[in-house]
């Protein structure tokens, strides 16, 4: 029998992370869970460690190290803390695939280290490609490392490309649900509350991506993610709103043929495909029934109301560190919105101003991304203070 596939999950306590654990648990003969990590959720990390018995756990928040260590003293599990530990554990010889299910810029460094160490990447953490897509994909090419998408739209594109890798792509269409505020006017959006923005119509996800979906920044980030994953020009990437979230995305080839991947919205499928590619394993996930969806509809995104989408295109066209600055600003403003410090509409306004004022560096190296992230965060925080709700 061949060796089991060793998996490290960065961010095992989150929405993607917990669903990934379900997937891994379903195929014990195929996967071996080596590493799980969490930012601050020590309770759930401890519970997961006891249940799934990985070799190693990391709690990034250092003040929670003792709590996790004490709770697991009877288990033969290594416990570490701090963000440098995240980078070290992915290098372990037992790890074959690293699932990056942590949120935000924090994913960049451990992903680079995992690629450096030759590990296959199952990429959920889209911010890594948004911030430093050129650097990450270049390193992956140099190291012969595959990056398999977990994001449902990108998994859909990837699934459509299986057997077609030699055929050039003419265009892709990323589908977007439109979020909870599809069809709303700027005036209606002025008074939106946190709870309304957190209610996504079709997907249950972590708080940051749920807000990003409500502002269409998520689709903007996905446009940039697609550029790097599939090596596309900006004009080859289009977005179409599809409120039912059944068609997960579409590839158009040079003969005009279009392939779409469909199914009920359930992240377990793309998570599993990223871990089992090129195989498909039998599942009992609910199946899509056409008769429950007599009409699948498509419409244009409202780019005037949801400005973040075009800001992402602008960052992609600018290149350099522009998308890094936009991402940093967005992480700051989403947190501020979640803390009820700023109104919904200032999310895009602060993103725009930060991106425009942060100096962009051409042909950036890793340190340039670190510096740009820092400068843009400071600029965005300053604007948050200026626009704070009193
Ligand atoms: P989440 O907030 O539910 O979970 C995030 C995980 O990362 C948690 O385990 C948390 O402890 C950990 N974490 C957070 N900040 C950290 C830090 N600074 N350092 C180390 N660990 C940290 O997020 P999620 O919804 O699971 O999303 C994870 C990633 O996957 C995001 O990049 C998101 O855009 C992407 N994604 C999510 C979905 C989804 O359905 N949830 C779909 C597509 C893509
Ligand atoms: Mg997505």
* Nearest Cα residue to 109 out of 92, 93, 125, 122: 125
* Nearest Cα residue to 238 out of 157, 154, 172: 172
Residues 326 and 259 in one domain: no
* Nearest Cα residue to 149 out of 171, 120, 175, 177: 120
Give the C-alpha distances (Å, rounded to integers) separating 371 from 88, 356, 361, 375: 23, 16, 10, 6
In the listed set 257, 282, 305, which residue is the last one of a domain according to the structure? Answer: 305
Q: Give CA–CA dist 319/43, Å, rounded.
A: 41
Question: Nearest bound ligand to CA 126?
Answer: 1
Sign of the alpha-carbon dihedral angle for 57, 62, 68, 69:
positive
Question: For the stretch 290-310, what's the b/e string if a residue is b when 16 or more beta carbons lie within 10 angstroms of its beta carbon?
Answer: eeeeeeeeeeebbeebbbbbb
Residues 176 and 250 in one domain: yes
In the listed set 95, 114, 149, which residue is the last one of a domain according to the structure? Answer: 149
Hunting for tokens 């699948």 — which residue is that? Answer: 296
CA of 222 to the centre of ligand 2 (A): 7
Residue percentage of the chain with pLDDT more than 70: 99
Give the largest CA-CA distance in the chain. 64
Question: Stretch 269-283: mean pLDDT, rounded?
Answer: 98
Nearest CA to ligand 1 atom 4: 14
The binding-site residues of ligand 1, defined as CB within 6 angstroms of any ligand atom, are: 11-17, 38-41, 60, 101-103, 106, 124-127, 151, 203, 205-206, 208-209, 267
Q: Give CA–CA dist 99/120, Å, rounded.
A: 9
CA–chain centroid gap for 334, Å, is: 15
CA of 41 to the centre of ligand 1 (A): 12
Residue percentage of the chain with pLDDT more than 90: 97
CATH number of the CATH domain containing 69: 3.40.50.720
Domain housing 123:
5-149
**pLDDT confidence of residue 251:** 98
Nearest CA to ligand 1 atom 39: 205
CB 86 within 8 A of CB 60: yes
- Ligand 1 atom, smallest distance to 212 CA: 34
More confident: 234 or 389: 234
Tokens of 257: 């043929």
Q: In sequence order, what E strands does the chain have?
A: 5-10, 31-38, 56-59, 78-81, 97-100, 120-123, 147-149, 169-176, 237-241, 247-253, 258-262
Residues 11 and 133 in one domain: yes
State the pLDDT confidence band at 202, using cuts at 50, 70 and 90.
confident
The model's pTM is 0.98
Residues 162 and 299 in one domain: yes
Residues 381 and 335 in one domain: yes
Ligand 1: residue of 10, 12, 16, 201 to mutate (most ligand atoms within 8 A of CB) is 16
CB 304 within 8 A of CB 352: no
- Ligand 1 atom, smallest distance to 38 CA: 11
Residues 112 and 252 in one domain: no
Tokens of 262: 């469909």
Residues 299 and 170 in one domain: yes
CA of 389 to the centre of ligand 1 (A): 27
**pLDDT confidence of residue 389:** 77
**pLDDT confidence of residue 360:** 94
Range of weakest confidence among 137-146, 193-202, 366-375: 193-202
Nearest CA to ligand 1 atom 18: 106
Give the C-alpha distances (Å, rounded to integers) separating 331 from 32, 104, 106, 338: 33, 7, 11, 11
pLDDT for 176 beyond 60: yes
**How is 68-109 classified by DSSP, letter by letter?**
HHHHTTTSS-EEEESHHHHHHHTT-TT--EEEE---SGGGHH
Nearest CA to ligand 1 atom 20: 39
* Nearest Cα residue to 301 out of 315, 316, 311: 311
Q: Give me the chain's average pLDDT, please.
A: 97
Residues 54 and 105 in one domain: yes
CA count, 13 A, side-chain hemisphere, 361 = 18
Q: Give CA–CA dist 33/330, Å, rounded.
A: 33
pLDDT, tens only, 114-137: 999 999 999 999 999 999 999 999
The reply to whether 280 falls in a domain is no
State the pLDDT confidence band at 388, using cuts at 50, 70 and 90.
confident
Residues 165 and 136 in one domain: no
Residues 101 and 226 in one domain: no
pLDDT for 1 beyond 70: no
Helix (H, G, I), strand (E, B) or coil at 160: helix
Nearest CA to ligand 1 atom 17: 39
- Ligand 1 atom, smallest distance to 13 CA: 9
CATH number of the CATH domain containing 379: 1.10.1740.10
pLDDT, tens only, 24-83: 999 999 999 999 999 999 999 999 999 999 999 999 999 999 999 999 999 999 999 999
pLDDT, tens only, 26-36: 999 999 999 99
* Nearest Cα residue to 301 out of 174, 131, 128, 138: 174
- Ligand 1 atom, smallest distance to 209 CA: 34
The reply to whether 313 falls in a domain is no
In the listed set 101, 116, 149, which residue is the last one of a domain according to the structure? Answer: 149
If one counts the domains in the chain, the total is: 3
**Which residues make up the environment of ion ligand 2, defined by Cβ < 5 Å?**
151-153
The reply to whether 248 falls in a domain is yes
Question: Nearest bound ligand to CA 150?
Answer: 1
Ligand 1: residue of 11, 208, 216 to mutate (most ligand atoms within 8 A of CB) is 11
């Amino acid at each position: 029998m061949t060796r089991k596939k060793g998996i490290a999950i960065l961010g095992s306590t989150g929405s993607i992370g917990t669903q990934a654990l379900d997937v891994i648990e379903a195929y014990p003969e195929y996967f071996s869970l080596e590493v799980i990590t969490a930012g601050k959720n020590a309770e759930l990390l401890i519970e997961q460690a006891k249940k799934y018995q990985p070799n190693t756990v990391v709690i990034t928040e250092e003040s929670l190290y003792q709590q996790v260590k004490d709770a697991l003293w009877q288990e033969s599990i290594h416990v570490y803390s701090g963000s440098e530990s995240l980078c070290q554990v992915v290098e372990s010889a037992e790890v074959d695939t690293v699932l990056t299910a942590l949120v935000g810029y924090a994913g960049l460094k451990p992903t680079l280290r995992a690629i450096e160490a030759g590990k296959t990447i199952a990429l959920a953490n889209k911010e890594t490609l948004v911030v430093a897509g050129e650097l990450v994909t270049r390193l992956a090419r140099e190291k012969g490392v595959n990056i398999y998408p977990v994001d449902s739209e990108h998994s859909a594109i990837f699934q459509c490309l299986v057997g077609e890798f030699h055929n050039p792509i003419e265009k892709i269409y990323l589908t977007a649900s439109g979020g909870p505020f599809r069809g709303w006017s700027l005036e209606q959006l002025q008074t939106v509350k946190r709870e309304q923005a957190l209610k996504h119509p079709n997907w249950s996800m972590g708080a940051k991506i749920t807000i990003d979906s409500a502002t269409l920044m998520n689709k903007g980030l996905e446009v940039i993610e697609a550029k790097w994953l599939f090596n596309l020009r900006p004009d080859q990437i289009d977005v179409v709103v599809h409120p039912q979230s059944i068609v997960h995305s579409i590839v158009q080839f040079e003969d005009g043929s279009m392939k779409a991947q469909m199914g009920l919205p359930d992240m377990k499928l793309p998570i599993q495909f990223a871990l089992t590619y090129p195989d498909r394993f039998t599942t009992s996930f609910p199946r899509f029934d056409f008769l429950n969806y007599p009409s699948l509809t498509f419409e244009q995104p409202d780019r005037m109301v949801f400005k973040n989408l075009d800001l992402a295109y602008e960052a992609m066209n600018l290149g350099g560190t522009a998308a890094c600055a936009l991402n940093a600003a967005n992480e700051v403003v989403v947190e501020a919105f979640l803390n009820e410090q700023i109104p919904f509409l200032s999310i895009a306004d602060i993103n725009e101003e930060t991106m425009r004022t942060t100096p962009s560096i051409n042909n950036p190296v890793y340190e340039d991304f670190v510096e740009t992230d820092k400068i843009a965060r400071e600029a965005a925080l300053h604007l948050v203070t200026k626009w704070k709700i009193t």
